[in-house]
Amino acid sequence: MTTTTTTAVDPFVHPALFYRGARQYLDGTVPFIREGLAAGEPVAVAVPPQNVELLRAELGEAASEVRFLDMTRAGRNPGRIIPGVLRAFADLHPAGRVRIIGEPIWAGRSATEYPACVQHEALINLAFSGRAVTILCPYDLDGLDPSVIAEAEMTHPVVMDGYGQRTSRVYAPERIIQDYNQPLPDPVDAAALGFAGGDLGRVRDFVVGHAASMGLCGERLEDLRLIASELAANSLDYGGGSGTVRIWAENGQVAVDVTDAGHILDPLAGRRPADPRQRGSRGLLVTNLLSDLVRIHTNQDGTTVRVYFST
Amino acid sequence: MSIVDFRMVTVTIWPEVRPRGPSPAAGPGSSTSGVRGPSPHDLHIDLTGPPVRLKVSGDIDRTTRRLWEEALGGLVTQGDDMHIDLAGLTFVDVRGTWLLTQAARGLPRGKKVFLHHAPYCLRSVLALIGPDSFPIEVET
């Protein structure tokens, strides 16, 4: 199985690989890696750890030329993958084509995580449009629900499987972005605090006090304190000058959300690496980089940004 | 030494190293000066003689950022190595850390920012926003 490397329309190539079992996985990925290395193209592989091991064993010595990442850690929060994994690698190699295998959706992703995963897959197309990058995304036909596979055809312009490669007839990433921008479910037993200008210290104290009582501690507690403060500051700057912060325990995690009257119009907000010299806001980017999961609902009536931290 | 109290800010300034630019008293929020007592989230910045030029304690956030920016600006104007004692820093937001990187960029070639006792909240964000791009030495 080989992969198209360029198109006349857009140098960005984003195929999905639908595979059953290790043999099809290797048949779909190893030639992609070897072709890249033979062409002198930088290659990164960000996949679940069992597939990292599978590929390392198959590649042998060539594995040392590939940048491997455990996607279940680096991409635990799907909102982190574009800035923290894909662009972090691609931007290191601005000249020539870069190849990446990214497997952000694996069996075991929760129903809470999945909307962020499929939104991420759709947003990749916007984030890399015009760039000489190929991102191959494996999907496990045996482990994933058929609805996940159906939506992968909507987020990837090209799909590959055991029968070959074809153009997706249902490619529609904007529809996925729009359809998954839904109100987030109301939490059970959340503590809430309204805030306005000058209250950021109160917001931090409120979140730290509750999160600590739920078992979050050390550096992760400090990370959550920072994120709560950044999200509340965004409400003051862009969300009408006030907001509400809520915190609750959910499935062994600490969940925090901030709701305000703002409307995030840029679908890639918080997913672009920031130029160190530019003043712009980095609050949402840091939120994506540090959280275990970020979910967002935004429209003309207001915005909720919800983050999850594992205890 | 003069002590100036603002709504969320207390600053102690040695007159000979007073930061450049307009006084924070002219900034937003200063009109409510004196409406409340000290808070654990206040920012205190002492400008002192060499080698440590700034001693920072309290929180740097949207409310207190201006004082931090002006104190850094004063040191950039001096154009020497910038030693900052952060032992008392209890919180700094992303913009506050970014301002530190911009101060480092503003120093003459060969000069650096030296951070003493930098807490996790600053080190973690510094690592995220471009650790290799700036002449900053973090004392460990």
Outline which parts of chain A fall under CATH 3.30.565.10. Answer: 191-310
Outline which parts of chain A fall under CATH 3.40.50.300. Answer: 15-179
* pLDDT digits 0-9 by tens, B19-67: 433 344 333 322 223 345 678 789 999 988 788 789 999 999 999 999 9
Residue A68, classified by CB atoms within 10 Å of its CB into exposed (0-12), middle (13-18) or buried (19+), is buried
Q: Does B33 touch chain A (CB under 8 A)?
A: no
The DSSP bridge partners found for residue A253 are A250, A310
Whole-number pLDDT of residue A39: 97
Cα–Cα separations (whole angstroms), residue B102 to A274, B64, B75, B106: 14, 17, 12, 6
Token duo for residue A227: 């994120």
What sign for the dihedral angle of Cα A233, A239, A241, A244? negative
Amino acid at A67: R
Name the CATH superfamily housing domain A15-179. Answer: P-loop containing nucleotide triphosphate hydrolases (3.40.50.300)
Of residues B41 and A306, which shows the higher confidence score?
A: A306
Spell out which residues of chain B touch residue A226, defining contact as CB-CB under 8 Å: 91, 93-94, 121, 124-125
Q: What are phi and psi of A102, to 5 degrees?
A: -125, 120
Cα–Cα separations (whole angstroms), residue B39 to B28, B58, B59: 18, 9, 10
Q: Which helix (H) or strand (E) holds A205?
A: helix A200-213
Distance of alpha carbon A285 from the chain centroid: 11
Name the CATH superfamily housing domain B2-21+40-138. Answer: STAS domain (3.30.750.24)
Spell out which residues of chain B touch residue A224, defining contact as CB-CB under 8 Å: none
Angstrom distance (rounded) from CA A204 to CA A256: 12
Q: Does A225 touch chain B (CB under 8 A)?
A: yes
Whole-number pLDDT of residue A7: 46
Least confident of A68-82, B1-15, B112-126: B1-15
Q: Which ipTM was obtained for this model?
A: 0.91
Please tell me what DSSP assigns to residue A13: B
Spell out which residues of chain A touch residue B40, defining contact as CB-CB under 8 Å: 201
**Is the CB of A222 less than 8 angstroms away from the CB of B62?**
no
The residues spanned by each domain of chain B are 2-21+40-138
Q: Which fold has domain A191-310?
A: Heat Shock Protein 90 (3.30.565)
A286 contacts: CB under 8 Å, gap ≥ 6 = A226, A227, A230, B94, B125, B128, B129
Please tell me what DSSP assigns to residue A226: H
